[in-house]
Amino acid sequence: MTRVTLVTVAYNSAAVLPTLLASVPEDVTCIVVDNGSNDPSATRALAEHYGAELIISERNIGFGPGCNLGAAQATSEFLFFVNPDAQLTPGAVDALLAAADAHPEACAFNPRLREGNGKIAFKRRSKLLAKSQWLSRDAAQADCEIPVLQGSAIFVRREAFEQVQGFDPNIFLYHEDDDLSLRLQKSCGALRLVTTAEVVHLFGESTVRSPQTAALKAWYMGQSRVYACRKHGMPNAFGTALREALAQLLSPVTLLSRRKRAKNWAYLRGIWNARNAQDAKRPFQPTP
């Protein structure tokens, strides 16, 4: 039986998905969750071509809930959540398995992530952490314990993932990885970086880039930030987010880009929407 199930959530991701699916080793089960794409037949064709299992959600239920949907079908020892705009390098899964076997006290792992230009991408801080818990910029040079996982490629023991009941379904998009990290760390064990396992990630390319898509993502980024910060006891969650959003919206750079205007305005609206906990689950509404 395979030890690893890779789960990827696709939302209008047919252009980038082939690169990921082609990089998945033969001994790794792959589950693709089509999360309400405009044309799910394209995702179906790719899944069939690369021998992946396909789950179709008729509507976009969010990234974390989409991962939960895929993970529910897995029976393997490990789950590997990978963004559709990523590519596994040869030996990455074997290196993660070796690290997991060498560190039974750890429950989840990040591979080393590189951008398309080769630059290392490392998540050393989080809105859900005090500054005293942030890592230094050079911490990514060697294997180490990390305070939070970067969500574009999370390798986790399935039993641990199930113990904390997976991703929080109240978080549609953004900060779901930070929230999961803190719950895993509290209940299941350490989080670690594995530098011998590498994944290339084209950040922000999992869906088509447009002002509309930017606004959709930014709305949920603002909404999720307030919700997650409140959940984990960060002080003045709404006020701090609101000040930062206003500063971004009033930046001169915003005036020069239609996409940035759409993004920053939606971010502000998402934060404002989350000011009352009872409103936090309201779906995104485009600006008239």
**What share of the chain has pLDDT > 90, as a percent?**
76
67-82 burial by CB neighbour count: b if 16+ within 10 A, else e? bbbbbeebebebbbbb
DSSP E strand boundaries for 135-234: 144-145, 153-157, 190-201
Among 65, 85, 72, CA closest to 20: 85
- Per DSSP, what are the bridge partners of residue 114? 120, 200
111 close to 86: Cβ distance less than 8 angstroms: no
- Is the pLDDT at 99 greater than 60, yes or no? yes
178: how many CB neighbours lie within 10 A of its CB? 26
pLDDT at 259: 81
Among 164, 159, 154, 157, CA closest to 184: 164
Q: State the average pLDDT over residues 9-24.
A: 96
- Is the pLDDT at 226 greater than 70, yes or no? yes
Q: State the average pLDDT over residues 181-195.
A: 97
pLDDT, the chain, mean:
91
pLDDT at 140: 86
207 close to 258: Cβ distance less than 8 angstroms: no
**Interval 132-169: pLDDT, tens:** 999 998 888 999 999 999 999 999 999 999 999 999 99
Mean pLDDT is lowest, of 45-49, 90-94, 278-282, for 278-282
**Interval 234-274: pLDDT, tens:** 999 999 999 999 998 888 877 778 888 889 999 999 999 99
C-alpha 69/C-alpha 249 separation (Å) is 35
**Interval 60-71: pLDDT, tens:** 999 999 999 999
DSSP 77: S
pLDDT at 204: 57
- Is the pLDDT at 43 greater than 90, yes or no? yes
Among 76, 54, 48, 71, CA closest to 10: 54
**What share of the chain has pLDDT > 70, as a percent?**
93
DSSP E strand boundaries for 36-85: 53-57, 78-82
128-158 burial by CB neighbour count: b if 16+ within 10 A, else e? bbeeeeebeeeebeebeebbbbbbbbbbbbb
33 close to 64: Cβ distance less than 8 angstroms: no
- Is the pLDDT at 72 greater than 80, yes or no? yes
- Is the pLDDT at 31 greater than 90, yes or no? yes
The packing angle between helices 237-249 and 258-273, to 10°, is 160
